[in-house]
Amino acid sequence: MKPRRAFTLIEVTLAVALLGVVGTGIMTFLSAFASGSQSRVRVSDPALEATLAMRRLNAIAPDFRTVLAANKTCAVLWLSDRVPSRTVHLSELGCLRVDTKHGELLLDTIDESALIADRALETEFAAGDDFLGAIASARTAGLLRTRVLAEGLDCASFSAASARSCVVLEVGAAGATSGVVLSPARPEEPLR
């Protein structure tokens, strides 16, 4: 009897089956990767965008006090109590607004250099003053500095929250929407 020099039918069948399983796995991975990258051309999860925007706001204004006024496209915030008084000053205001043209959420703050150049611009507000009007007049006077908090948004709007000093920011991107409550962190009192 001569020694065999070829594969048997069982060996060939097992090799083809193994190659088929490996090939199917590779094709499944490639199609999943292609569909995932196609659907996520840009990172635009609205919950992620809203959370990142709030983290950026907290980095810029860690002493955020309260929401003073709001409408569908903007919310005026008392960012800090830098001037030693119990009232709001112009330098302490900020305005979160939606730029629908560019799909951005912006934070407008008063430019420090304008206030340093003319200290008469520092206005003190009463509780019932028109904060939206004050920000609008500061914008037309060129006193605002703008920072981008979120971009790539399809839509964004503000709505009233259950608490008086809060507002709900609803962000929409990639066909989904997510809401986040914009409220100041309440200081905790130590236990006695």
Q: Are 72 and 56 in contact (CB under 8 A)?
A: no
Q: How far apart are CA 181 and CA 187, in angstroms?
A: 17
Distance CA 110, CA 104 (A): 19
pLDDT digits 0-9 by tens, 135-183:
898 899 888 899 998 888 888 888 877 767 788 888 888 778 888 888 7
DSSP 157: E
Closest C-alpha to 92, from 72, 69, 122: 122
Tens-digit pLDDT profile for residues 83-122? 778 788 888 888 999 998 998 899 998 888 888 888 778 8
Cα(168)–Cα(67) distance, integer angstroms: 11
